[in-house]
Structure 1
Amino acid sequence: MSYRWLKWLILWIPTVVIGLWEYVRHAFLLPYVSMELGNWLAPVFVFLITLTLVRRLFAKLEAMQDSLKRQQVVKAAFEEREQLARELHDGISQSLFMLSVKLNKLDRAQSEADATKAMEGVRHTVRHVYEDVRQSISNLQNALQPADSTWLQSIHRLSSELEQAQGIAVTVDSKLYDGLLTNRQKVELLAILREALMNVQKHAGASAVTIQAEHHGALNVPVPAFSCVIEDDGKGATEEELQELGKYGIRMMRERAKAMGWKLNIGPSALGGIRIEITGGGASG
């Protein structure tokens, strides 16, 4: 039996029981059962039905909810594992490969100047690996933060991480209302923002990033429309380069947006770098 049918049965069974009792009482039992006694018997019948049939339906409903929660926990763990694998492949493994190349250059250095230059490249790569490891650890810690923390606090936490790691100035202009976003929307949108900022940190060569988010149109609808735009003033990239640079990050953002029914557009920014726009809710939500 489906979850939907269980809910409908729990809702309708007491109503049907009362209706049948009233029909039987007025059609067949009026000569034998007084009006006052019949009024007393109606809640008794509903109570007995609730103890027997409806109680079993509630037990099945709770079991289905528990199963759904377990599936959600497993799915969340799988998604975090996938994200960590993407980060390791896209950041740390590539940096370690570059480190091995630079160590080979150091071994083949013919002069002290060449050795010094190669050693500086090794130091730079080691620092980059260190930053990637810190970012991965930070992402795992953030994944454990409560989903109901305020939206603006979460955005500013991401901004502070980027500023501390790379010295990139982040400007946040958010007009999203916490109460109009579900917990899942907050989690997924934050994950996309985190991945976008990570790509800026790794590939953009930017000095500034802006984040603008707002709701649009009517706010008294079930799923209000919203948009979120991330722009940087970095070196930019072509579509082919976007697919090559951080391809796992781009794919993850697209997959998350698609799963939520959102639209994600990536293109050139008026600031000179890359512009990422996420739109959702309204007709697309």
Structure 2
Amino acid sequence: MENRNQGRRLKWLILLIPTLTIGLWEYVRHAFLLPYLSMDLGNFLAPFIVLAVTLTVVRSLFSRLEQSQRELQREKGANAALEERERLARELHDGISQSLFLLAVKLDQLDELKVEGPVKSLADGLRETVRVMHEDVRQAIANLRQPPSPAAAAWVVPLRELLGETAGITEARADFNWSIPDGSLSDKEKVELHACVREALMNVRKHAKATQVFVIGEKDDFGGFRCAVEDDGIGFACDPLDAPGRFGLRMVRDRAKGIGWAFLAERRGNRTVVELSKRGGGAQ
């Protein structure tokens, strides 16, 4: 609202200043300069005076107006994004979350039948899957309703918290090493990087059985960066991008591709590495 009001004021000033300039010039000319300045010369100077005021005062006002319009557009975009996140959070809560709850109730009813053997084993596996999925959905809802702030370096804090949560659940040792300059990333890149690291950590939480988890973010000498999630878990039994039911890394790959980053998922020694990298403008 403040940006909108400021924009209106600037528009009125831009419209009024040339008129006021001519009015003031005519008053000064007739009141003080008429004995020294002929009518023809005064008329000749008038447009140059208006031009001088336009190039100084009005041009500065135009610059401020453009800045105000950019801030207003950013504000509208942020509000639209928050509304969309809230809508998605409601849909997750009212749809998937409720369905998972009902599925858990059905599994509890199956337990009451006192079944044994393969059926009980299958039910226990399904219950664990439902529990993990329900945790993921709840975390997604929380993230949607409280999105990480892209302002300043505060946006890095949720990444550290995600690593801590993963380490707490898996009882692994966590190491967070981050040196990517905040100013080297756009707001969109921060959001995408946060989503990719989160998905990679969720993959570690669900499948890796790791004792050590690392998040590494480092700049290169050309304005780019490398960001990696590494763990000492069991690794990949096959190509993780082709494994059935394993969508997390494919989502990370697609996000990276969409924003122009390189993506890599591989085993290096005793570590599984999921890596994103951005090529700097000065790189050969």
TM-score in terms of structure 2 length:
0.61
Which string of whole-angstrom CA distances, capped at 9 and with x for unpartnered residues, describes residues 44-90 of structure 1?
3343588999978986886677456535653565478669979999x
1:262 aligns with 2:261: yes
Deviates more, 1:121-130 or 1:187-196: 121-130
Answer whether contact 2:214 2:230 (CA < 8 A) is retained: yes
Indicate yes or no: 2:189 matched with 1:190: no
Opposite residue 276 of structure 1, the aligned amino acid is V
- 1:259–1:215 CA distance, 2 compared to 1 (3 A): same
Q: Percent identity?
A: 25
Contact 2:235 2:271 survives alignment (8 Å) = yes
Which AA in structure 2 matches 1:235? I
Taking the TM superposition and a 5 Å limit, the aligned residue runs for 1:92-111 are: 99=104, 103=108, 106=111, 109=114
Instruction: From 67, 74, 77, give the equivalent of 2:80.
Output: 74
Cα distance in 1 for residues equivalent to 2:203 and 2:120: 30
Shift of 1:130: 5.3
State the shift of 1:116 in Å: 8.5
Shift of 1:278: 0.5
How many Å apart are 1:141 and its aligned residue? 5.0
Which amino acid in the other structure matches residue 171 of structure 2?
G
> Which position in structure 1 is the counterpart of 2:14?
none
Q: What is the distance in 1 between the residues matched to 2:100 and 2:167?
A: 21
- 1:226 shift after superposition: 0.9
State the AA in 1 paired with 2:51: F
Q: CA deviation at 1:280?
A: 0.5
Q: Structure 1: which 5+ residue stretches go unaligned?
A: 1-31, 219-223
Matching residue of 1:244: 244
Aligned to 1:155: 159
Distance 1:180 1:141, change over 3 A: same
> Given the superposition, is the C-alpha separation of residues 55 and 178 from structure 1 closer, same or farther in structure 2, using an over 3 Å criterion?
closer
**Counterpart of 2:153 in 1: which secondary structure?**
coil
Task: Say whether residues 1:45 and 2:43 are aligned partners.
Answer: no
Change (3 A) 1:58 1:125: closer
3-state DSSP class of the match of 1:282?
coil
Indicate conservation of the 8 Å contact 2:170/2:210, yes or no.
no
Q: Which range moved further: 69-78 or 148-157?
A: 69-78
CA contact (8 A) 1:99 1:126 kept: yes
1:167 paired with 2:184, answer: no
The 1:270/1:75 distance shift into structure 2, 3 A limit, reads farther
- Write the mapping of 1:1-285 to structure 2, written as runs, cut at 5 A: 33=41, 38=45, 42-47=48-53, 66-67=72-73, 70-71=76-77, 73-74=79-80, 78=84, 99=104, 103=108, 106=111, 109=114, 124=128, 127-128=131-132, 131-150=135-154, 152-218=156-222, 224-237=223-236, 238-239=238-239, 243-247=243-247, 249-273=248-272, 275-283=273-281
Instruction: Provide the rounded CA distance (Å) in 2 between the counterparts of 1:77 and 1:258.
Output: 26
Q: d(CA) in 2 for partners of 1:130 and 1:79? A: 19
Letter in 1 for 2:205: Q
Under a length normalisation based on structure 1, what TM-score does the superposition of the two structures give? 0.61
